[in-house]
Amino acid sequence: MPHKFLPWLAIASAMSAFTLQAQAMPDTELLIGSYTQGKSEGIYRFAFNSETGMIDAKPLQVVKTENPSWLTVSRDQRYLFAVNENGPGQKDVVGKVSSFAIDPKTRQITPINQVQSRGEEPTHSSLSYDGRYLFVANYAVNPEPGGALTVVPVGKDGTLSEAVQVLPLGPGSKVNSERQMSSHVHLAVPTPDDKYVVSADLGADKLFVYRYDAS
C-alpha cells in the first residue's frame, strides 16, 4: 500500500519525526539534529517502533552538516531544512541554513543547497504556511551584531535563496546581566492565518509581531 505520512513533530530543539502507515515495520522514522563539535556528524535518521517504544540503535542514514540544531520539515514532507548553529569560537563562524530533499519512497535525504542565515547562532526556523519563506531566528550570543529575524525564500524545488530581509530585534532588557544585555532571538513562527510572524526574544523579554506579506 502507498505510504501515508502524518505531520512532523519537533522534539526539543534538535529532533523531528515523521510517521507513516504501512504494513512493514518500523512505522515511524526520527530525524535527529545535533551539535558537531564532538563526535556527532550532523543529522541522524533512525527507525522507531511505536509498538515497542524502541529506537533502532543503528541509524538508517547519517547526513553530514555542521551543527544542525533545529530541523523543519515541509508540510508535504518532501523537504527538510536545518539551521546550522555556527558562531564565534566554532570551526565555522558563519550561521547558515541548509536545505535537503526527502525521497517520498525511500525517505533518503540528499542535500540541495545552503545559504547564510545573516546572523550568528541560528537556533530556530519555521515555514510560512504557503511554503514560500523560511523564518530564521538568529540567537547571537554576542551583543554585536545581536539577535535578528531573517526571511529566506524557498523555491518550489526546495532551493533556498539569499535572505530578502534581516530584522534586528531588541534591545536587551538588561534585567539579567548575564543573559539579557542584548537581543537573543530564539523562535519565529507564522500565525495560523499566515498574516503575521511572531518572534520571541529572550534578551528583550518580548514577543515581536510582524505583518507577513508574501508578495
Among 122, 191, 172, 174, residue whose Cα is nearest residue 151: 122
- Residue 96: CB atoms within 10 A of its CB come to 22
pLDDT digits (tens, 9 = 90+) for 122-181: 999 999 999 999 999 999 888 778 889 999 999 999 999 999 999 988 776 667 677 776
Please tell me the distance from the alpha carbon of residue 24 to that of residue 1, in angstroms, as a whole number: 10
Residues 6 or more apart from 7 whose CB is under 8 A from it? 18, 75
Which residue type does 211 have?
Answer: R
How many residues comprise the chain?
215
pLDDT for position 147: 86
pLDDT for position 172: 64
pLDDT digits (tens, 9 = 90+) for 7-65: 333 333 445 555 444 344 457 899 999 999 999 999 999 999 988 999 999 999 999 99
Among 104, 165, 194, 191, residue whose Cα is nearest residue 208: 191
> What is the number of domains present in the chain?
1
- Residue 175 belongs to what domain range? 4-211
pLDDT for position 64: 97
Beta carbons of 72 and 16 less than 8 angstroms apart: yes
Beta carbons of 202 and 186 less than 8 angstroms apart: yes
> Using CA of residue 79, residue 13, residue 113, residue 55, what is the dihedral sign?
negative
Please tell me the distance from the alpha carbon of residue 156 to that of residue 45, in angstroms, as a whole number: 24
To which residue does cell 535578528 refer? 148
Please tell me the distance from the alpha carbon of residue 47 to that of residue 178, in angstroms, as a whole number: 40
Bridge partners for 62 per DSSP: 44
CATH code for the domain in which residue 42 is found: 2.130.10.10
Among 98, 146, 97, 99, residue whose Cα is nearest residue 120: 146
Largest CA distance in the chain: 58
Residue 7: asked if its preceding bond is cis (omega within 30°), the reply is: no
101, pLDDT greater than 80: yes
Please tell me the distance from the alpha carbon of residue 138 to that of residue 118, in angstroms, as a whole number: 8
